[in-house]
Structures are given as C-alpha cells and as structure tokens.
Structure 1
C-alpha cells in the first residue's frame, strides 16, 4: 500500500517539521507504523524512518517509549529515536514517534524468509546481539515485556 503524503507537525520545541509518509508498514494496538522520509538537518538530505502514529489521547505508551529510548541514544544495540512531532489529520491531533528504520525487517521476517532454517553461526550471531541489547536495557533498570520475533529489528 503506497500512500505518499506530506505531513507537517510541531516538535517538542515548537519547530515545524515536515515529513513524507511513503507507505504503511503495519499496525499495532496503539496505532500504525509508516515508512517516512525525514529531512536530515545535518546533511540536508533525507533519511528513512519508521513512524509510529496514533491519536494523541491514546499516545501515552508511545510517549513513554520516547522517554525511554532517549536514555539509549549512545547505544548501538538499541533502535535510535529521532524525536516526535504532533500533527493534525482530518481534525484529529496525532502523535508521531520517529524511529530508526532498516529494510531488513524483523526477526520474524528473517525466520519466514529462510523457512525457519538458519545456519548455526547466524543463529549464534543474532542471539549474541539480542543478549547484548537486553543487557543494555537491564543495565538502565528496564525490562522488555513484549520480546518476540516481530518486535526485534534485524540489521546487517
């Protein structure tokens, strides 16, 4: 489903941010996830991001996610958060959280791609990365309560 759309919103500092919704990637209990192009203020180019969007009154859990992810900005084991924007769509206030995106997909996608058959060295590599990420999360006093292949992004 491709639905390219330019969206404007305000970030936490009251600055207008424009981004382009490229397509819908999926949905969850909180709202939808979209592939988006964001302006890269450093290079002047664009970067791809996954955007979690939901109606503002239902955005408490996503706003909490922003607060938590900001504590991991220096970690290469945890998905990067690029910030948040509040926008207006058809008269509804929408909260948008911008996250790191990689086209490799999730661990569930990888398992499906290989029909459940993955080499032992590859499995060891993914498990090591998973444990390193969990160690990082636990070191900050958090516990991941929704750990499943669908929620684990795979990066090359």
Structure 2
C-alpha cells in the first residue's frame, strides 16, 4: 500500500471506516474497508462513486486490495470529512439546528440530488447520517443503496422512505425528494420524521399523510416541506424545481451553529466520537424489526415480494423455512 491506515472512525455491518494518509503526498482521506469475501456492496458503491464529480457529492479517491492479518481486504477511498456527518452537527447544535444552517445544508443536499438525478441515479437513502460536512459544505455520501433509475430494487432506511417505496411499488427520483424533506425535519426537530413504533410502517405506506412539520420552522420552510412531502410522487417538486424555492435563496457562507473546526491532526479523535456512535442511532429500526413490521402491517392489496437481501453483508438470520434474511443495521434492499 502507498498509504498508511490510521484509527477507525466508524463501523457498518461489515465495513469499517478509517482515517488514512498517503505516503507520497501526505494527503488525508478516509478508507472504507471490508474483507474481499464479502465486498459486493462496497464494490457497487465504488463503481457508482467513480463516475461522479460534484462539489455536493463526497469525493472518490480510488480503491485497492490489500492483505492485512492474512486476509484480503477491499478498500474504498473517499474524501476526508473532518466535520463528521449532518447528524453529528445536529447533536453538536444541541439536538436541532437553526434555520440558517438548515437552509444552507438543504441547498447543498438538493444540489447533490439534482446532479445525481441528472445522471439517472437514485440515492435511495438520504438522511442526516449519510450527509457529510466538509468545510461547512454538505456532501451526499454512502451510496450502498444507490441504483440506476431503471433498476427495480427498493432500499433505504424505513423511517425516511416515501410511501410508494414503503409499499414496495417504486423508488425513483421523487423518493429522494421525500427523504430530503424528512432530513429537513431531522435538522429542525432533532429527531426522525416518524416515531419508531410498530404501526409506523403501515402509517407511512397507507395513511396518505406526511410527517408532522416542526413548529420551529418558518412559513417559508414549511412551504418547502410541503413541496417535498406530497404523498403522490407525481406531485412532488423535483430537485431542480426545489433549487428555485425561496427557502434556498440568499444562502450565506459564514460559519453557522453546528459547524465544527477541522481537527488539527488525524490523531485528533474528539471530532469522531459521535461518528462512531451514529451507527447505533436508536431512532432507526434495524432490519429484523422492519421485517416484523412488514409481516404485521401487510394489507390484502399490498403485494410485496419476499425475496430480500441486505445491501451490506451482515449476520444471517432465519425467519422461517420459506424465507432467509440478513440483518443490517440501518438499510436494506428489497428485490422485485
């Protein structure tokens, strides 16, 4: 390797993310590593990231295969995000963010979505923990659930899913816009858009209602949410249209509450403590819980396929003789 691995800054179901330094240039970047025997989802992410180039998408830095502790390891190299994730910024901001910060971060995410959609890519898992902050700029990251618009697989985090995706019908560009609205709620309220309760999945899929708008948001902010969170996906504004909404106009670039100073050294672990904690966010259902909700919430007209797989390799769990599932901490794929 022409780079040196530093300390671990985050964990997934099978991958670990570490700080790394180039031995040639001294540049600092992040490395997502997984054993080569179960690297398919990270390789998928690598293929998508390698074709993207936008200031609103986390930067791709390459990949390689190394041998560590007698095991072959697939390493995906990405841009270093010293400020952690948007979820970390919410915690640093005391559990919610002020509206100027919400507007600025929302603008960055929306520009990133507009770029992805223009290239035919659906992210499928927009939420605070999948948006990284670099110099105060919001950048979309974690493409483990991403797909081409023409692919039929459905994936993501249940509490941020659009109704049509929760019903297993489709997951297109409009589903990303719904998740964007849910992320605005996360920033403004400091919580997931829906309660983590047994009846929530059915409520998302069939109630015909959007999540409650935070009272702290201005009227213009609530109007922005109303454009994102229309139950009928055909009525939602596109990312391109949202960029013209006045909520995203006149964004200033000064340091805002929730931003942090970059660490002076890659050995400065303080900034990363919340990153490691974020992978165990109690507001999100794990995969097994989501499956149970599906079983208990199904209606006669809800025709779901039962062929499921995780987008990251995790621990296998049997739920019966007919179906075999794999647990994954936050996100999943449903194959149609």
Structure with more strand by fraction: 1
Deviation at residue 119 of structure 1 after TM alignment: 1.9
Structure with more helix by fraction: 2
**C-alpha separation between the residues in 1 aligned to 2:125 and 2:36?**
22
**C-alpha separation between the residues in 1 aligned to 2:31 and 2:3?**
10
RCO comparison, higher one (Cα < 8 Å, 6+): 2
Q: Deviations over 1:5-49 (max 9, x none)?
A: xxx2xxxxxxxxx2111110011023100011124xxxx531111
Residue 10 of structure 2: which of 3, 26, 30 is its match?
A: 26
Deviation at residue 126 of structure 1 after TM alignment: 0.5
**C-alpha separation between the residues in 2 aligned to 1:136 and 1:29?**
28
Deviation at residue 54 of structure 1 after TM alignment: 0.3
**C-alpha separation between the residues in 1 aligned to 2:100 and 2:39?**
40
Q: Which residue in 1 is equivalent to 2:249?
A: none
Residue 128 of structure 1: which of 63, 83, 107 is its match?
A: 107
Q: TM-score, normalised by structure 2?
A: 0.39
Is structure 2 residue 98 aligned with structure 1 residue 114? no
2:87 is paired with a residue whose SS is: helix
**C-alpha separation between the residues in 2 aligned to 1:126 and 1:148?**
12
Deviation at residue 154 of structure 1 after TM alignment: 1.2
Q: Which residue in 2 is equivalent to 1:48?
A: 28
Residue 99 of structure 1: which of 78, 81, 89 is its match?
A: 78
Residue 44 of structure 2: which of 42, 58, 64 is its match?
A: 64
2:121 is paired with a residue whose SS is: coil
1:153 is paired with a residue whose SS is: strand
**Matched residue count:** 135
**Residue segments in structure 1 that go unaligned for 5+ positions in a row:** 1-7, 9-17
**C-alpha separation between the residues in 1 aligned to 2:123 and 2:14?**
17
Deviation at residue 117 of structure 1 after TM alignment: 3.3
**C-alpha separation between the residues in 1 aligned to 2:16 and 2:71?**
15
Is structure 2 residue 69 aligned with structure 1 residue 85? no
**C-alpha separation between the residues in 2 aligned to 1:33 and 1:102?**
12
2:20 is paired with a residue whose SS is: strand
